[in-house]
Amino acid sequence: MFEGIGTAIVTPFKEGNLDIESYEKLLSFQINNQINAIIVLGTTGEAPNISLDEREILIKKAKEVSGNKAQVIVGAGSNGLNHTIELIKNAEKNGADGLLIVTPYYNKPTQNGLYEYYKYIAELTDLDIIVYNVPSRTGINILPETVYKIASDCKNVKALKEANSSFEQINKDLLLLKELKDFKIFSGNDDTAFQLLASGGDGVISVASNVIPLQMVQMFKFIKNGEIEEARNIHFSYYKLFKNLFIETNPIPVKAALSIMGFINNELRLPLVPASEPTMKIITETLKGCGVI
């Protein structure tokens, strides 16, 4: 499992179809800026609106551009067991280095149900698995104790992406899960990634790194080198960007940003729609304010 910064890459569209040319540019931008992993088909990649055929294209291209320089992790969770298995098989077949499996959303399993679900899945694949906790989207919170139990029993469950923004949860994650050998804890929130890393976390699965990959990588390296003040400077220099990439639902603002930067069309699939005019202005100003454009 990687350490450092993984980018939850957007999926660019052109007139309703995948825009592979732009996608390749985005991937190269990431690899050239030393990113540690590409997370394909995460929420930021609009996974619920991508067909199996399209998934194949996106994963293969990411592998091709990344080569040995960055891991390719594939988002393969859903709220139905059979659909999740289908997505995992698709990821395996196309060469994924690992899987990001969100807790089943909407149907709100119990902690015991979560355990059984992850155990079932982990036994079906040899790929490494990152458990993804994002209560604001899923309606449930997987407890550190449950992750601990899963990771203890399933040797390929290797990491947690924690997007619960409460440091009560994050502190408990770190206290408990760091007892597990080689288990990694990633921040799922750019705006508190600095604090999670300073507390002993292993990396970030980032939206902002679509825009500022190098700066995120540097922040991570500073912390690992004990240069806390330098890391903090990066954190606060880009804090407004971290926040403003979420003034509408992700990935609406980051697609706006990447379109302003000239990387992609500002196009999304329903039920998501492009950023409103006020958001476009704020994103433009924010990018200028931190020197990105």
Chain residues that interact with a second copy, rule: CB under 8 A: 43, 46, 48-49, 51, 78-83, 102, 104-110, 112-114, 116-117, 120, 136-139, 165-168, 171, 174-175, 191-192, 194-195, 198-200, 226, 228-229, 232, 235-236, 239, 243, 248-249, 252, 269-273, 276
- Residue 132 catalytic? yes
123, 92 in Cβ contact below 8 A?
A: no
Of residues 18 and 35, the one with the C-beta less far from a second copy: 18
Determine whether 172 is an active site residue. no
The one catalytic residue among 23, 118, 132, 238 = 132
Nearest 5 degrees, angle CA 117-CA 90-CA 54? 125
Identity of the residue, 80 or 291, whose beta carbon is nearer to a second copy in the bound complex: 80
Distance of closest approach, residue 32 Cβ to a second copy, in angstroms? 30
Q: Is 43 annotated as a binding residue?
A: no
Min separation Cβ 122 and a second copy, Å: 13
Least distance in Å: CB of 28 to a second copy?
Answer: 27
7 is in an annotated binding site: no
DSSP conformation class of 97:
S
User: In the block, which residue shows the tokens 């639902």?
Assistant: 249
Give the C-alpha separation, 14 to 9, whole Å. Answer: 16
H-run or E-run covering 101: strand 98-102
Q: How far is the CB of 136 from a second copy (least distance, A)?
A: 6
CB 15 within 8 A of CB 256: no
**Which one, of 35, 36, 55, 56, lies nearest residue 46 by Cα?**
55
- Name the β-bridge partners of 72: 38
Question: Annotated catalytic sites, by residue?
Answer: 132, 161
